[in-house]
Every structure is written in C-alpha cells, then in structure tokens.
Structure 1
Amino acid sequence: MANVTLTKKIKMIGIMTILLVMNTIIVYIGNGTSSVLPFLFFIPITFAARGFGAKGGLLVGIISGLLLGPFMPLDVLEQQVQPTFNWILRSIFFSIYGFAIGTFILRLKQQAEYDGLMGIPNRNHFYDYLTTELQKQKIQASKFYIILVNIDDFKNINDSIGHVSGDLLLISIKTRIKNCLKKNDLLARWSGDEFSIIVYRNNLEELTSVCNCIVRTLQHPHDINGQNFFIKASIGVSSSSHEHKSNEVLVKEAETAMRFVKGLGKNGYKFYTEEIKRNCLEEKVLEASLHKALETGQLELYYQPKVECKDAKIYGVEALVRWRRPAEGIIAPGVFIPIAEKTGLIIPIGNWVLKTACQQVKKWNLTGFANLCVSVNVSALQIKADDFVSTVASIIKEADIDPGFIELEITESSIMENSIDNIMKLNELKRIGVRISLDDFGKGYSSLNYLKMLPIDTLKVDKSFIQNIEFDPKEKVITEAIIKMSKALGLTVLAEGIENENQYLLLKKLNCDAMQGFYFSRPLPIEEMDKRLQLTKCS
C-alpha cells in the first residue's frame, strides 16, 4: 500500500507539472491574440479537479489566475498590464471554479464507487481495486486474500425490525468487521447483506485470526434502539495466485467457500480448496439429476408402521420418500433432501409425496383398510409458500379421501420463521380436518409456548430421549414428564426410534400412546407394506 501511495504522488507531481506548462504556453501564445483564450484555462483546471479533487482544482485555479491576470484583462480589447484588482479577481474566479468542479466530480465519484449508507467502497470500486492488485501481483509476486462475509438470515431480521433499524444494524456490523482489519485492508459492501474484504497477511495463521475475530465480534449483542440482536455470519475465503487471470474467478472461489459454509449449517468460515470445489460440482450434478428424478418417476414412497402401545397393532404409517437412481440404487434421504431444501426442489417433491400418499390412502380404503392414517413430512419452505393451504386442500380433494386420514408432520424449526403466519395456516388445515403432528420434540428449542399455540394432535418424542432411556434415569424422567404433560394437553404421544423390547415395555409402562421404530418394522416399499397389512388383517 505504501508503494501505491508513493506512485500516486509521483504521478500527481508529474501531471501537475504538465498542467502548469500548459498554462504557461496558453498565456504566452495567447498574449494579445484572442478574447476566447481565457476560456481555455478551464481545460487544465477541470482536468486537475478530475484527477486530484477539489484541492487540485483550487491550486491550478489560483495559478491560472496568477498567470492570466497580468496579460488577460477583464476587458480583453486592452492589451496592457492591468491593475492588481484584475489579477486578484481572476485568481479568485478560477480558484472558486476549480474548487467547485473538483468537489462536484469527487461527489460523483463517491456516488459511483462508495456505498451511501456505509461510507465504504461498493462492489464496483472493489472490483477495480482487485483488478489492480492482480496486475501488481504479476510483477511484485505479492499475495492477498479475499474474504466474503454473508450475514445469516438477515432478510428475516430486516423484515421484522424494519429497514431503518436494519440499516443501523448493518452499520454496526460494518464497524465491528472493520475493527478486525488493518489500515491497508479494503472493506467493501458487496450486496445488501454481504461484505467483501481484501486482506494482506503473511500466513494462514494470521488469516485464521481475522476470520475468528469477525465471527466472534459479530456474535456479541448489537444494541439497536434498546433491542439486542445476535448476528451470525457465513464466511468464505480465497487466496490470490498467479493462476488467477480475472477478479471474477477469485471472488467466485470465495463465494463457493461461503456457500459451502451455508450448506454445513451456517455460522463459520471455510478456505476455498479443491475438495470444496469437487463437493460443489457433485452437488450441482446431484441437483440436475434430482430434477430429472422428479420428472421421470425415480422417486418412490416407503412406509414405516406406527403402532399402538397397548397391543402393538398398526394404526397408521409414515410416508418416507426414497430416490431410486438407475445406476446406483437407493440414494439415502440425508444425501438429497438437504439439496432439495437448498434449491427449492423440496416444494415439488413434497407435493408429490403428499399426492402419492393420498392416492395410497384411497387404495387402502378400497381394499378394507379404512382407518389407516398416513403421516407426511412437511418442510419449512412448503409451509412458507403462499399457496400451501390451498395446495394441500386441493390434493386431498382430488384424491377423494377424508382429510382426517392425513397427518402433516412439522418440526418446531420449520414454523419459527413467520410463526404467526405459519400457525394461521396450520389452523386453516386443522379446520378442514387435517391432523397435525409435531416431530422431533425435545430436539432443538422445544419451546413449551409453541405447544400452547400450535393446533397439533400428536407429539412425537425425539429418538434422542429413547436411545438410552433404559440406562439413563434422567432421560426416563424427562420422557415421563413429556408424556404426562402432553396427555394433560389432550395430545397423542408417539415415541420414535424404538429398537428393542426393553424400550417398548418401559414406554408402555410410562403410558405412552404410540411407537415407531425398527423394533416393529423398518420403512417398507409399498409391496411389503401391503403384505404386512394383510397379515395384520388376518390376525
């Protein structure tokens, strides 16, 4: 940075010298020849203002007035040395013009290259600066790093507190990030909730220290109008090298690393590596294949029985989507569901699951299984969609089944965003007869307030409480408390993840209503599920 400043000063001195020479030439060539020549002085003054701002325009304006005053009078018909008054008047006029045009040009530059809210460079300035640094690198073999900071879930925060408070929060975030940087680092606003940084560090240890500082400092509460906000960020980092031929590639690598952090659950940082690149490419391929799977019928439903505790009889099933890829066989849901959620494909997939499950309910009704309830998992994106209620109602109506045979399984996290709107949607579905189940209770926040607000019929105790319930007295006590509380609220209690007889007997003793798990059955394809139901019917 010091070398860049010195180079700019040398260039400035050189250009100023040229402008002064131009002034002198104009004066002596134009002496006594034309009344238009004074206007030529606006050219070097304007160029000085454009290159060096208001100070440059002021300086060249004063010098122009001093040079012009004695030789170019206000009355240009008189070709003689004028009084001091004319000299001073021209100097003042040109200096005012130089300062004014310099200030005006500077403001135009700031509007074009600086963010109006933050007072820091914007994306355009960042790109220009990055291009210069890449060119320098080819000559000086210098190295720098790009850090891209994305504020997690900022849109939701901004919508909830309003844009004025949101702007104040962004300024607070900018200030804290800047405190983690050195003077020669460049901080810019990349987009609405993203910042881009160029940092100069000697090694990865120093770079890691910067990233840790940003993550930690943003997590401390931000006091905005008396309200505290806790901010998390996803950060991607890329390193410059001689292989980078364009600024777009370097920024894209940082963005890829940042998206990778998002996929891991947000709130952290990653350095761009070839492994991350491969993972992203594989994810893109998988996304394209998932589109095709939805179009060509590669998805299918498996069904896991839900049984009553008192007699272990099947009273319902949970529909679980599987992807049968032609060349690879069954793809685990843990592989493709996160990609579907990230890309929005979870909405058409979720609608397909619900439609297929409703059609299966109709078939079971026609074959003598009229009281079988099918539960279907619903994602946060589905609930968030404006047409969620109408879509569910339309699918159930099209299948011509009783809405009470469909149970939508939601998680607490899926309704936390825009919770009021989401609860209203669930109430609408409840009114038409659809059953609602709260899945994975005990995992995450598990707010008791939501139990009071949500129109749920069933509470599913998370399997994390069941795994060691026979050995851990605390888990037994917690599970028993959940069962008693749920029953007091009039809810059906279902325990997930039952794997052995001891767990079954213990939960039966605790007066649990229903169970689900590998002890009773793994998820089954429709052919095996039909056989299982027939055996139950015969017994």
Structure 2
Amino acid sequence: MEVKQQYQWHYRHWRLLYTLAAFLLVVLAIGVYLLVYMTGGIKFVYSHSMYVPILLSGFLFGMTGGVLFGLFAGFVLGPFMPINVVTGEMQETVNWLYRTGFFVLVGFLSGMASSMTRSYVERLKMAASQDLATQLPNRNALLEHIARADRGGSPESLVLADIYIENERELNTSFGGAVVDQVIRQFPARVAKALQRELPVFRINSAEMGVLIDVAGQDREELLDALVDVFRAPFPVYDFSIHIDVRI
C-alpha cells in the first residue's frame, strides 16, 4: 500500500483508530502501574515508564488529550500506589500531586508540539493544493478531485472544461499580474451564473482554468456555449473594466 493510500485509509477510519489508541494507552498505563507495584513501589525508577504513554497521548490527541492523560496517569500512580510495597508505606498527598503536575506538563508540551506540527502540515497541504494568488484550487487539487471521482465510479457524463485566457500575456503586460489575478478570482461567480450551479474552478496555470461539469441530461455544447457567453462581459477591477478573450 502506497503512502498516499495509507493516509487516505487512516483518514477514513480515524474514529476507530483513535478509539483503539485510547484503549491501548489506558492498558499501557495499567501495565505501568502493575510494573511499579510488582517491582516494589513508587520509590524505584520504574515509575518513569509512565512518560511513554503520556508522550504518546499528547502526540495523538493534542494538548487536551495530553493533559487529561497526565491527570489519569498521576492518579494511577497516586494515592493507591505505596512507596514501598513490602512495608505498606503510602505516599504523602503532596508527593503524588507534585508528580501529577509534571505528568500534566509533559502531556501538555507533547500535545502542543503535536498540534504545531499538524498545523504546519495542514498549511503545507493547503499550499500544495491552492493557488496562493487567487485562493482557487490548483492543478494538484484538480488531479485529486478527478482521482476521487474515479474511485467513486464517476459517470461518463463528467466533462472537464478547459478555460484558456488567450490575451493573458497582453493583460499582464498592460495591467500587471495583480489585475489578472483579480479577474480570475471572479471566475467561480461567472461559471455559477452560466451553469446555474456552483462548481469549483481550478487554476491549472497562469492563463488556464479547469471546471469539472456533470453534463448528464444536458446538452454539452449548450453548456460550453453558455460558458463562452458569460465570459464576454467585462470584468470590473478597481475603477475600470477588463475584457478577456476566452477559449474553451
């Protein structure tokens, strides 16, 4: 299974995986409790094994999960765990509360690091599938959209309309790229007006856009002609209007 397929499988089954992970973390915490108890009590070094599930909980469930599991771990090794099993001497309250505080801190820091990493990955993912100048989905997003449609048994009536701005170079020379981007930002509204429905418009390159249209029960040529007609009207940009030449 490829990495991308693994990611998609994990995304589809995330509830089950997270439930299983939470159960395993609880089991691991109980296992640490038994380890500490069977090796003589909390005064020995084995209690540090609890940091493993705490770090994992923060990594998997973020700051909230790390903090909650830190509290749980502190309670597991807290009032019911003796200092010395042989003598039966119990911990003072301040001792296990202090340890719980450290468990919570470690869980919080682990969760914060995980959340920051996930946020960064999401930004990278968005940047990889979005045209930064116009905020429209880009070529990568189009390919992913087509792949999803193919996996879902996309009907043969699905058509990719390729919208090409023939005078894009002249517009760039005369008005600059920012003005062209302003024009392209208005494409989704024009497409929705022509097709009477909202569809994503993908920016394939600087002068080329794509729209996936399900033409089932409709005349394909009429839809494409409607797209051509709607782009003949000028585009308002700042205090003037821009005319573009479109080929579909």
- Provide the rounded CA distance (Å) in 2 between the counterparts of 1:152 and 1:25: 64
Q: Does 1:118 align with 2:131?
A: no
Select 1:223's aligned residue among 236, 239, 242: 236
Distance 1:89 1:43, change over 3 A: closer
* Structure with greater Cα Rg: 1
Normalising to structure 1: TM-score of the pair? 0.34
Q: Look up the match of 1:176.
A: 190
Equivalent AA in structure 2 for residue 153 of structure 1: N
> Counting helix residues as a fraction of each chain, which structure ranks higher?
2
Name the SS for the 1:104 alignment partner.
helix
**Number of residues paired by the alignment?**
212
- Provide the rounded CA distance (Å) in 1 between the counterparts of 2:10 and 2:155: 20
Aligned pairs (5 A) from 1:277-288: none
Q: Give the gaps of 5 or more residues in structure 1.
A: 1-6, 49-56, 236-539
Higher relative contact order (CA 8 A, sep 6+): 2
State the Cα distance separating 1:151 from its structure 2 match: 1.1
Distance 1:71 1:16, change over 3 A: closer
State the Cα distance separating 1:233 from its structure 2 match: 1.3
1:38–1:72 Cα contact (<8 Å) kept:
no
Among all aligned residue pairs of Structure 1 and Structure 2, give the percentage whose two residues are the same amino acid.
Answer: 13
Q: Give the gaps of 5 or more residues in structure 2.
A: 1-8, 37-45, 76-81, 84-90
Select 1:191's aligned residue among 201, 205, 216: 205
1:66–1:87 Cα contact (<8 Å) kept:
no
- Provide the rounded CA distance (Å) in 2 between the counterparts of 1:116 and 1:110: 9
Name the SS for the 2:216 alignment partner.
coil
Aligned pairs (5 A) from 1:63-102: 63-72=65-74, 81-82=96-97, 85=101, 89=105, 92-102=108-118
State the Cα distance separating 1:189 from its structure 2 match: 1.1
State the Cα distance separating 1:149 from its structure 2 match: 1.0
Aligned pairs (5 A) from 1:78-477: 81-82=96-97, 85=101, 89=105, 92-137=108-153, 143-177=157-191, 180=194, 182-183=197-198, 185-205=199-219, 207-208=220-221, 210-235=223-248
State the Cα distance separating 1:178 from its structure 2 match: 5.1
Distance 1:159 1:99, change over 3 A: same
Name the SS for the 1:118 alignment partner.
coil
Q: CA RMSD in A?
A: 3.7
Equivalent AA in structure 2 for residue 135 of structure 1: R
Task: Map Cα deviations across residues 353-406 of structure 1 (whole Å, 9 max, x no partner).
Answer: xxxxxxxxxxxxxxxxxxxxxxxxxxxxxxxxxxxxxxxxxxxxxxxxxxxxxx
Normalising to structure 2: TM-score of the pair? 0.67
2:164–2:208 Cα contact (<8 Å) kept:
yes
Distance 1:36 1:85, change over 3 A: closer
Distance 1:19 1:144, change over 3 A: farther
- Provide the rounded CA distance (Å) in 2 between the counterparts of 1:113 and 1:131: 14
2:66–2:108 Cα contact (<8 Å) kept:
no
- Provide the rounded CA distance (Å) in 1 between the counterparts of 2:181 and 2:228: 20
